[in-house]
Amino acid sequence: MKRRRVITLSVIGFILLGAILMSPGRPFSDVPYSTVVTDCEGELLGAKTAADGQWRFPPSENVPERFEKALLQFEDKHFYHHPGVNPVSMVRALVGNIRAGKVTSGGSTITMQVIRLSRGRERTVKQKIIESVQAVLLEIRYSKKKILSLYASHAPFGGNVVGLEAASWRYFGRPSDELSWAEAATLAVLPNAPSEIHPGKNRDLLLQKRNSLLRELHEKGYFSDETLSLSLEEPLPDAPLPLPSYASHIVAKAPEGVVTRTGIRINLQKQIEQIVGRYSDDFATRGINDLAAIVIDNTTGETIAYCGNSSPGRIRQGMQVDIADSPRSTGSILKPFLFSAAMQEGIILPYTLIKDVPVNMDGFSPQNFDQQFYGAVPASEALSRSLNVPAVHLLRAYGVPKFHSLLKDCGLSTLRKDPSWYGLSLILGGGEGKLTEITRAYSGMVRSYIIDEKFPLSDKVSLWYTFEALKDVNRPDELDWRYIPSLRKAAWKTGTSYGFRDAWAVGMTPEYTVGVWAGNAGGQGVPGLTGASVSGPVMFAILNALPLGEWFREPSEGIFAEICPLSGHLRSPDCPEGKEIRLPSAAMESEPCPYHNGGSFALPPAMEWFYKKYHPEYEVPKASPRRMEFIYPESGSELTIPRQMDGSEGKIVFELAHRDPSATVWWHLDEEYVGETRFVHNLSLTPSPGRHTLVAVDASGHTAAVSFVVKTGGRF
Ligand SMILES: [Zn+2]
């Protein structure tokens, strides 16, 4: 009795010890997986091989029904009824093996195969015993469903294709839950001997095995006679297919070894890649080699299409650069943020006249695109025509540090230098931005407007006037209309950087924001590379591909107040007329019309000098205390003597506006007479370095004075 008990306990102890020693651990815990990226509904956008070079998708819990039925029919009919090992088939296999004199076949359950796949050992009798024990232990730990999914995710399918999902894409070009019965049967048969039977070799044997499995499945009543005959006709797969490759720049940056679901909509993505590919082929012939486009859904804030550079089918040097995520000179693309912010704070009203006269910007004089000055331009027109000089005047009024910090708050991460480093050039492309962040910032304005998303620009009336100003087609002469079949109604802005290096276009509708950048990743400029002529048509082509929606609804916020129709300022008691419009609440703190005095409208002489050329209705006031004013430079400017091509010093052209065209003006530099002018009051001088005062006097004794500093060394 006692002896028997000892033996029993020893056996139990031995089994337990063996069980502990042979415990399978967590199967596949150190296996690397492919990087997989899907669209918003789980559709495959693209993938990368795992670290070991295998196409092995991260495990999925779901095993599609057809594959499961085919697999179990072929490999393990009693899977749901055995405890990990199937004694009947093991004995059968053992007898078969003894007769053959070597290990030839099977008898392995799916569970045992999971163990073998995870251990990767030789197929010997000893290993088989270990596998059997571990299989039983695995069954204790995991559900049948989990074991089946472990098998499906790790079974070999020939070559470097591992797991059902990778096999499904590589052999049939679709996900495993869309496989036909014939396809599922093919994949059920393959892992049994992936190196011997492969879609590439022994096709007859593979076909024979597939078809006999199909007949068995049909006999079980899984599908009709008709499906059987059609299935038997289906061809075997040929050479492995390439995996889908959309939004390749997102795939390239996706976290390794896992499935990442993005907000991309695959059908839109395909369309956008086609559009971008078409344009980029054309642009390439003009020396414009890189093109990027982004679409954001304003309702959700998701990026729904992302084309980091041209189309993935094109192989060219630099194509890999995700140009949408690279910092580039912003050109004029940031102007709407300044316009909206200045209105939100009551610095301007929608139609306030902004100065458009020569301005000195740290020794540099910015020009409008057409090299003209207009004297004074309503703010919204200055925005829709993208005038540079009024933008500089407006930024000076708003403040560079404040605008710099506003842009950062709007999500621009690349303005890392101190505001003083950028100075007023910040509004003309002196800073850099990424297409991703700029498009998102534009979308931020829309989201703030349509769904009250928190954003630094939140005043709805200001945003409304911004959208309205940007709706007016700007600079239509620059657009190549041949490219644009029809224009979708959109608020849009273009930008061109100095030297024609960067061409931007961003368009907004209530539903979508579309951002486009064109240029060369290496930074080479191309004559004619402008936002309006190059990126604008691409942006509209993309907008046209999106569903048509409504325009922005007029806001109900703000106040109604009278403005002066001539100056755009709040109406003053001197303004003869008023026009009531909706204004931001901050408007009441803004300056009333400064140009109407005693009923007559008079701009300061410098503004007037340019303004009257474009406004024949403007009457130069007869009696006005200010007869003349310096146009250039402004008082307090820092000037640099330009250097000529031959290295000698050039001259600075001083300009003056006089209300009486025929007046003679005598000029004095530091109280020394330097010349006289009549009709056109321009005088070229080369003052020495240091501080100077220039005074002009006319015959009636009126004077104008300007102080400035001349610095040494200069540019051409
Ligand atoms: Zn007025």
Expressed in angstroms and rounded, the spacing between residue 558 Cα and the centre of ligand 1 is 22
Expressed in angstroms and rounded, the spacing between residue 348 Cα and the centre of ligand 1 is 14
**8 A C-beta contact, residue 362 and residue 638:** yes
Expressed in angstroms and rounded, the spacing between residue 658 Cα and the centre of ligand 1 is 22
Expressed in angstroms and rounded, the spacing between residue 351 Cα and the centre of ligand 1 is 12
Expressed in angstroms and rounded, the spacing between residue 565 Cα and the centre of ligand 1 is 7
Span of 4-8, 176-180, 208-212, 255-259 with lowest mean pLDDT: 4-8
Rounded to an integer, what distance in angstroms lies between the CA atom of residue 418 and that of residue 158? 58
Expressed in angstroms and rounded, the spacing between residue 606 Cα and the centre of ligand 1 is 18
pLDDT of residue 716: 40
For residue 693, the cross-strand partners are 707
Expressed in angstroms and rounded, the spacing between residue 491 Cα and the centre of ligand 1 is 29
Identify the residue with better confidence: 44 or 634.
44
- The residue-averaged pLDDT of 153-160 equals 92
Identify the residue with better confidence: 23 or 126.
126
Expressed in angstroms and rounded, the spacing between residue 467 Cα and the centre of ligand 1 is 26
Q: Choose among 616, 611, 606, 702: nearest CA to 663.
A: 702
DSSP state of 388: H
Expressed in angstroms and rounded, the spacing between residue 574 Cα and the centre of ligand 1 is 7
589-598: pLDDT as tens digits: 999 999 998 8
pLDDT of residue 226: 96
200-231: pLDDT as tens digits: 778 889 999 999 999 999 999 999 999 999 99
Expressed in angstroms and rounded, the spacing between residue 379 Cα and the centre of ligand 1 is 15
Expressed in angstroms and rounded, the spacing between residue 398 Cα and the centre of ligand 1 is 22
- The residue-averaged pLDDT of 607-636 equals 86
Rounded to an integer, what distance in angstroms lies between the CA atom of residue 654 and that of residue 681? 8
307-333: pLDDT as tens digits: 998 744 455 544 578 999 999 999 999
pLDDT of residue 572: 95
pLDDT of residue 476: 47
Expressed in angstroms and rounded, the spacing between residue 582 Cα and the centre of ligand 1 is 17
Rounded to an integer, what distance in angstroms lies between the CA atom of residue 379 and that of residue 14? 90
Expressed in angstroms and rounded, the spacing between residue 6 Cα and the centre of ligand 1 is 112
Query: Starting from the edge strand earliest in sequence, which strands make up the sheet with 652-658, in order?
Result: 628-632, 652-658, 682-685
Expressed in angstroms and rounded, the spacing between residue 581 Cα and the centre of ligand 1 is 15
- The residue-averaged pLDDT of 695-710 equals 89
420-463: pLDDT as tens digits: 999 999 999 999 999 999 999 999 999 999 999 999 999 999 99
3 state SS of 254: coil
Expressed in angstroms and rounded, the spacing between residue 44 Cα and the centre of ligand 1 is 62
pLDDT of residue 13: 64
Burial degree of 140 (CB within 10 A; 0-12, 13-18, 19+): exposed
- The residue-averaged pLDDT of 117-127 equals 77
Expressed in angstroms and rounded, the spacing between residue 601 Cα and the centre of ligand 1 is 7
- The residue-averaged pLDDT of 237-253 equals 91
Expressed in angstroms and rounded, the spacing between residue 461 Cα and the centre of ligand 1 is 22
Expressed in angstroms and rounded, the spacing between residue 377 Cα and the centre of ligand 1 is 14
Expressed in angstroms and rounded, the spacing between residue 703 Cα and the centre of ligand 1 is 27
| Phi, then psi, of 318 in degrees rounded to 5 | 90, -10
648-702: pLDDT as tens digits: 778 888 999 988 878 899 999 998 999 999 888 999 998 999 999 999 998 888 8
- The residue-averaged pLDDT of 261-278 equals 95
Expressed in angstroms and rounded, the spacing between residue 596 Cα and the centre of ligand 1 is 5
Q: What percentage of the chain carries pLDDT values higher than 70?
A: 90
pLDDT of residue 11: 63
pLDDT of residue 715: 46
Expressed in angstroms and rounded, the spacing between residue 378 Cα and the centre of ligand 1 is 13
299-313: pLDDT as tens digits: 999 999 999 987 444
Expressed in angstroms and rounded, the spacing between residue 608 Cα and the centre of ligand 1 is 15
Burial degree of 594 (CB within 10 A; 0-12, 13-18, 19+): middle
Expressed in angstroms and rounded, the spacing between residue 597 Cα and the centre of ligand 1 is 8
Expressed in angstroms and rounded, the spacing between residue 594 Cα and the centre of ligand 1 is 7
Expressed in angstroms and rounded, the spacing between residue 575 Cα and the centre of ligand 1 is 4
Whose tokens are 């370095």? That residue is 689
pLDDT of residue 102: 55
Expressed in angstroms and rounded, the spacing between residue 435 Cα and the centre of ligand 1 is 41
Q: What percentage of the chain carries pLDDT values higher than 90?
A: 63
Span of 58-67, 204-213, 621-630 with lowest mean pLDDT: 621-630
